[in-house]
Structure formats: C-alpha cells, structure tokens
Amino acid sequence: MYIKQLIWIVIGLLWVAITAFDTGAMAEENKCIACHRNITPGQVADWESSKMSKNGITCSDCHGVKHKNSKDSNLARLPDEHVCAECHEDQFDQFVKGKHNYGWTTLNALPITHMEPDELMEGGKGCGGCHNMGVKTKVQKKELLDKGYRYRVNSCDECHTRHAFSKNEAQDPKACQQCHMGYDHPQYEMWSSSKHGTRYFVKEKGKLPEKAAAPTCQYCHLPNGTHENRTAWGFLGVRLPLPADKQWAADRVTILKALGVLNPETGKPTARLDIVKAADLARLTDDAWKIEREKMTKICAGCHSGQFARRHLEMGDRMIKHADRLMAEGIEIVARLYKDGTIKKPDHYPFAYPDFFYFKRTGGSYIDQVLFRMYMKYRMRTYQGVFHANPDYAYWYGWAAMTKSLDEIKELDRTMRATHKNN
C-alpha cells in the first residue's frame, strides 16, 4: 500500500522536475502548435509529416518567436533561403551557383515585366509564379514589400513544398511540372511522352523491374543530389563565340539583333549584353559551353554508349542551326517592313526592328506577332524536343510549325506590301 503511494509520489515529483526543466522556447513552441492546430490544421499536419519535425525542428526555428497571439501575426518572420542555409549550407551553396538562382533577376531584367499587372509578377499569378526562383536581394525584397506583397521570399519550397519539405517529393519529375511546361518550355510534356518518361511511368506501376533504367529530370539535370543546374544551350538557344559556319553565324547575328543584344543598325553590342552576362542567360565562351555538354554526355553514357550520346546531342545542335536559318529569314522579312515604313515602330521599341525581349507586347502589328510566336513557341520546341528525345514535339509542334509560320509571314508580307502601295 505505502509502496504504491511512494511510487506515485516519485512519478509526480519526476513530472514536476521535467516540466520545470522545460525551456521557455519549448513552451513557446507548444503554444504555436496548439493554437495553429485550430487556425491552420493542414500546415501542422504537414509539418508533423516532415523529417524535420521528427528531428525537433519546430515552427519558431523558421518563423521566430516575436508573433505570439492572434493579433500580431504580422510579426511572424517569413524565412528566406538564408534561414534554410543555417542548417543546409551545401544545398544552399549549390543552388546559388545554378541557374535557378537567376529566376527572379531575369524576370525583372525584361522590359515586359514592368508593363504588365503586378498580380502577374510580384503577385505570382503569371510570370512571377514560376520565376520565384533564387535568393532575392534586399532591394528586390523591399520592392515586393513596397508593392504590398509579403510572401514568396523563399524558393526552396518550390520543389519540396512547405511544410512537408520532403526529399521524395522533390525527386519526382512532377515537382518540376508547374514551371517546366506549356508555351515556350514544355519539358514536362516532352519528357513524359518520350521513351524516357514512358519507362519511368511503367516502372512506377511495377510493370518493369525496379532496377530498369528510366532517367528523370533530376537524374539528368540535378545529378547526384546537386542543387546546381545549367545546360549548354540554355533557354534562348544562342551562344558565343559565333560558329565557324558562315551562314549559321550570320543567322545567329540576326537573332541576336532581334533579341536586342546587338544594335540592328550598327551590329555593336547594346546594354542588354550586360543583362545577358549578369544573369548567365547564355554561355559566352566555348569552355563554358563544353563543360555543360561534357557533364550531360557522361550522364547519357551511364545508360547508352558514349557515341550514341554524342551523336544524339549533336543532332540537337544541328537542329538549332536549321531552325536558325528559318528564323533569320522570318526576322529579315519583318525587319524590311519596319525599315521601309510598311509597319510602324511601336513607341516602346528601341529600334525599328523586331524585339523579342518585349514578348507579345508588339504594339499592334500582326506579322510581328507571328514572328514572335515562331521564335518563342516553335523554335524552342524544335530543339527542346530533339534534346528530350520527343519525336512529335521536335517535328509537328516544332519544325513543322516553324515552316508554316514562315509561309504565313511571307504571305502577309506580300499582301501588306500590295495594300501599302495602293494607299
């Protein structure tokens, strides 16, 4: 009887001792979770599912302790990538060296960004929804706040979403889909309907043995868990120095003029070349290009023969050359219409010349729209489709649509010139 009571007393004393040793931070933590279990139960459940919660990382580790009740939630810190870096320095350092770190900067370097509704940029409902990538500078963060946008300071959660912050999620190609899809970069569509993607899905369903090879986006672009990403040709499909082939070199110069990187009148570099350099928009030396090409060839050669890999990648390069021929022809036709006054220079264009940096804001000339679409949608698909081993994208959605666009441009050119003379 006495022994039982004694045991209870000891247990009671131990409990008091444990709670007394409980730190202040721990008490704060329980409050965050207790209250948020009612306020935002989904987030608490997410966090509970995470590996971090199992390792004792709690709300206040990321959000601080200043916000304490229902009325002062604006005091909660929204953690940027530097907060993650406190514990994940390696991933942070790799990420900063890669192309993703330039997402926000390149977006803001384009003139179009400052002509469209803020909702589509800072608000993240359009371009900004995908370009919330990379560590923002203090100036960029202040601009967001000034415009009334408090969120979207972190981009680590673009692949392992809050608050599960799961490695598994980020390893799935679907983690890339939201951004790498659609109009000008349908890599998810191309990969998922290529043999590589088909194999991945078949394997997922257990119809191929677990060991069967099926490369994912991550396998080719973030190999061995790295967070640094960059390709040889990049998005724009241009690079320096100019190629030895004279026609290809001339065609690339024409494209660089339409990108506004070269002055169409003098052929000299414009201030935009500085943007290209600063945001690593293109590889500017042979070495920079070769480093990326070599890395990729090695990855392919893990499953295919080295020769097979090189030949396929070189076919991609040659398709850029073919595509550039069509593209340059189109640009030159539209440029002549500007030059002889058949179409007028939109006020916001720096030169009387097509300007792809303004995206679809062409200022009213339909033929310029057709040209822009040929560049942004179809030229991209032509080589992206080849590189991602997708026959239909390379041909019907890419090359065939380019030739059709060029025909349309020629037809429009004829009718516009005929009606212009009649006026």
166-195 residues in contact with ligand HEC (CB under 6 A) are 166-167, 170-171, 173, 175-176, 178-182, 185, 187-188, 191, 195
Rounded Cα distance, 159 and 178, in Å: 10
Instruction: Tell me how far, at minimum, the Cβ of 122 lies from ligand HEC, in Å.
Output: 12
Burial class (CB in 10 A: 0-12, 13-18, 19+), 364: exposed
Nearer to ligand HEC, 122 or 412 (CB): 122
Residue closer to ligand HEC (CB basis): 130 or 284: 130
Q: Quick check: 401 and 381 in contact, CB under 8 A?
A: yes
- Label residue 18 exposed, middle or buried (CB < 10 Å: 0-12, 13-18, 19+): exposed
Q: Which of residues 245-264 bind ligand HEC (CB under 6 A)?
A: none
Q: Does the footprint of ligand HEC cover residue 88 (CB under 6 A)?
A: yes
* Residue 110 contacts ligand HEC per CB under 6 A: yes
- Dihedral of alpha carbons 131, 136, 141, 143, sign: negative
Q: Which residues contact 353 (CB under 8 A, 6 or more apart)?
A: 257, 258, 264, 335, 338
Torsion of CA 135, 136, 138, 143, to 10 degrees: -170
Binding of residue 97 to ligand HEC (CB under 6 A): no
Considering just the CA atoms, what is the radius of gyration of the chain in Å?
A: 27
Residue in the block written with tokens 């247990």: 11
Q: What is the smallest separation between the CB atom of 139 and ligand HEC, expressed in angstroms?
A: 17
303 near ligand HEC, rule: CB under 6 A: yes
* Contact string (CB under 6 A) for ligand HEC, positions 327-366, x = contact: --------------------------------x-------
User: Binding residue for ligand HEC (CB under 6 A) from 122, 136, 149, 218?
Assistant: 218
Q: Please, what is the minimum distance in Å from the beta carbon of residue 392 to ligand HEC? A: 13
Supply φ then ψ for residue 166, to 5 degrees. Answer: -100, 135
- CB 368, min distance to ligand HEC, A: 16
Among 136, 252, 272, 293, binds ligand HEC (CB under 6 A): 293
Q: CA-to-CA distance for 21 and 23, rounded, in angstroms?
A: 6
Closest to ligand HEC by CB, 156 or 258:
156
Least spacing, CB of residue 267 vs ligand HEC, in Å: 23
Contact residue for ligand HEC among 165, 248, 338, 378 (CB under 6 A): 165
**Any contact of residue 372 with ligand HEC (CB under 6 A)?**
no
Q: Give the count of beta carbons closer than 10 Å to the beta carbon of residue 83.
A: 19
23 near ligand HEC, judged by CB under 6 A: no
CB nearer to ligand HEC: give 392 or 408.
392
Rounded to the nearest angstrom, the gap between the alpha carbon of residue 325 and the centroid of all alpha carbons in its chain is 27
112 binds ligand HEC (CB under 6 A): yes
Residue 158 in the binding site for ligand HEC (CB under 6 A): yes
Q: What is each CA distance from 5 to 9, 11, 15, 136, 421, in whole angstroms? A: 6, 10, 15, 62, 109
Query: 33 to each of 23, 47, 54, 191, 408, how far by Cα in Å?
Result: 16, 10, 14, 41, 61
81 binds ligand HEC (CB under 6 A): yes
Give least dist CB 266 to ligand HEC, A: 24
Taking alpha carbons only, the member of 158, 36, 51, 56 closest to residue 100 is 158
**Which residue stretch of 45-53, 243-251, 336-344, 366-374 sits at the interface with ligand HEC (rule: CB under 6 A)?**
45-53
Binding ligand HEC (rule: CB under 6 A), the pick from 240, 253, 313, 400 is 313
Pick 128 or 264: Cβ nearer ligand HEC: 128
- Only one of the segments 82-90, 141-149, 241-249, 396-404 lies at the binding site for ligand HEC (rule: CB under 6 A); that segment is 82-90
Q: With binding defined as CB under 6 A, does residue 127 bind ligand HEC?
A: yes
**Spatial CA neighbour of 97 closest among 235, 193, 228:** 228
**How many CB atoms are located within 10 Å of the residue 51 CB?**
12
Amino acid at 143: E
Alpha carbon 244 to chain centroid, angstroms: 31
Residue type present at position 207:
K
In the complex, the smallest distance separating the C-beta of residue 309 from ligand HEC, rounded to whole angstroms, is 5
Taking the complex as a whole, how short is the minimal distance between the CB of residue 410 and ligand HEC, in angstroms?
28
Footprint of ligand HEC on 374-413 (CB under 6 A)? 384, 387-389
